[in-house]
Amino acid sequence: MKVMVVDDNINDREIMFELLNAQGYQVTCASNGVEALDKIRKLKPDLVISDIMMPQVDGLGLCRELKRNRETINIPVIIYSSSFTDAQDEKLVLEVGAVAYFRKPLEIAIFLKKIKDIINQYRTGKIAQPMPGILDEKEYLSLYSQRLMKKLEDKVIELENSNKKLEVALSELKTIDRLKDNILANVTHELRTPLTHALGYVELAISETDDAKRKEFSRRCRDALLRENEVIAHLIEAAYAEKGLLKPVKERIHVGNMTNETIKALWPNAQARSIHVSSEIEDNLYAKGDTNQIKHVLENLLDNAIKFNVNGGKVEILAKREDGMVKLCVTDTGIGIPEEKMGKLFEKMYQVDSETTRKFGGIGLGLSIVKYIIEAHGGRIWAKSLPGEGSKFCFTIPLQEET
Ligand code: ADP
């Protein structure tokens, strides 16, 4: 059984050759319609399997030529293609006299079975011999150009879509590039500022003879170093979160105690700006989670609520059971966040005010870590805000039922 494989793609040709050869077929290959016609006339194969899109004479032209010639009219032709794939294409393939149309890629076993079936059906006369000249030249050319136009239109649409995707990717890259510059400027700024302060106070302390003043300088130096420590801790934490290493250890958390401890820790910050912090926590409210991590979340939210507040403003922490979870909200009367910036709030290194001259310190990692921690606990975090009126950040974490 002699089979002719026609395909301009060398890999497709080789695969077909090996596959059919292994089945005992005597396979000859050609890389285009002209070469195929020449070989077919000489070798008279029992079956031709041809691709469509090929240089010189394509698969449809080859099939037409074979069906026009009395010597080759009875050789069954199977057309297979990955580009002519809709129903109209299939119709055209059959109209030029092909016996079957396969869409690439076809599973090997199915491909071999179909070939076997077609050869058998052809031999036993179950498939009618195609009539020569089913389509006259004019009709064929018109149908063919329609199909080609359709392919071209599809390609143009595909290109336009790819172009749009590229434009989006380019603009995202530009944003990332800008973000990278901001990050560098920010991180450098946030690391250098407390360090410069600490060095300044150490210098002052060294040359100060007055004991009380020296003590005060040393205290300020310590505060600056604590701030430095905090920035470094944030960077390390973000790197851990990135690598998925912030695994929560599930413990029983007394929400009231945790809230009081957090308020106490940030009390000096609030007091320095006359901000009133209050809390309302449901009695006997316990959460299931990593105490340090959840405390860290609350500290972050409270710290922001104070930092982005107005002097003399208010912060309120509310916690209660809701839908089998603990829901905790931190509400402030601060500067608020513009609506268009809300979508990116929990993204890494995002800051609503990204200018290096901005008023508030921070590297924009806090909320991304907070979101990571809450989601690792199986909870959810969200925010609502009105510029000039304030913000409300809420999160949920699993409730620890009392036993
Ligand atoms: P940062 O280290 O800059 O505070 P965060 O990730 O904690 O980073 O917050 C990201 C940004 O979200 C902040 O820079 C600020 O612009 C905005 N933001 C966060 N919390 C508040 C809030 N309570 N009120 C107004 N803006 C806020």
pLDDT for 356: 44
What predicted TM-score, i.e. pTM, was given to this entire model? 0.55
Q: Is the CB of 332 under 6 A from ligand 1?
A: yes
Is 316 in contact with 278 (CB distance < 8 Å)? yes
Considering only CA atoms, which residue is closest to atom 9 of ligand 1? 364
* pLDDT for residue 357: 44
Measured in angstroms, how far is the CA atom of residue 304 from the centroid of ligand 1?
6
Is the Cβ atom of 313 under 6 angstroms away from ligand 1? no
Cis peptide before 248 (omega within 30 of 0): no
Ligand 1 centroid, distance to 396 Cα (angstroms)? 19
Give the position, in ligand 1's atom list, of the atom nearest the Cα of 335: 25
Structure tokens that stand for 283 in this block: 């009695």
Bridge partners of residue 277, in order along the sequence: 315
- Our answer on whether the CB atom of 337 is closer than 6 Å to any ligand 1 atom is yes
Which of 296, 308, 339 for a ligand 1 pocket mutation test, highest count of atoms within 8 Å of Cβ?
A: 308
Query: Ligand 1 atom 19: the closest Cα is on which residue?
Result: 304
Query: Residue for token digits 């912030």?
Result: 246
Report the helix count and the strand count for the chain, using DSSP H and E.
Answer: 10, 12
Bridge partners of residue 30, in order along the sequence = 6
315 in contact with ligand 1, CB cutoff 6 A: no
124 CA to centre of ligand 1 in angstroms: 79
Q: Domains of the chain, with CATH numbers?
A: 2-135 (3.40.50.2300), 157-242 (1.10.287.130), 251-398 (3.30.565.10)
At residue 312's C-alpha, the angle toward residues 310 and 317, to 5°, is: 85
CB-based contacts of 352: which residues, under 8 Å, 6+ apart? Answer: 337, 338, 341, 345
**What's the rounded mean pLDDT across residues 345-369?**
69
Residue nearest to atom 13 of ligand 1 (CA): 351
Tell me, using a 6 A CB cutoff, whether residue 61 lines ligand 1.
Answer: no
Q: List pLDDT tens digits, range 118-132.
A: 888 877 877 666 555
Please report which confidence band the pLDDT of residue 138 belongs to, taking 50, 70 and 90 as the band edges.
confident
Cβ of 351 below 6 Å from ligand 1: yes
Q: Is 333 in the pocket of ligand 1 (CB under 6 A)?
A: no
User: How far, in Å, CA of 306 to CA of 228, rounded?
Assistant: 19
For the segment 184-200, the average pLDDT, to the nearest whole number, is: 84
pLDDT at 103 over 80: yes
Strongest mean pLDDT among 105-114, 116-125, 175-184, 389-398: 389-398
Q: Is the distance from the beta carbon of residue 391 to the nearest atom of ligand 1 less than 6 Å?
A: yes
What is the structure's pLDDT at 282? 95
* Cα 301 to middle of ligand 1, angstroms: 9
Ligand 1 neighbourhood includes 294 CB (under 6 angstroms) = no
Tell me which residue has its CA closest to atom 18 in ligand 1: 304
* Residue 240: pLDDT band with limits 50, 70, 90: confident
**Lowest mean pLDDT, pick from 148-157, 286-295, 369-378:** 148-157
Regarding the beta carbon of 366 and ligand 1, being less than 6 Å apart is answered: yes
Task: Count other C-beta atoms under 10 Å from residue 9's C-beta.
Answer: 15
Q: Is the CB of 353 under 6 A from ligand 1?
A: yes
Question: Average pLDDT, whole number, for the chain?
Answer: 88
Gap between the Cα atoms of 340 and 343, Å rounded: 7
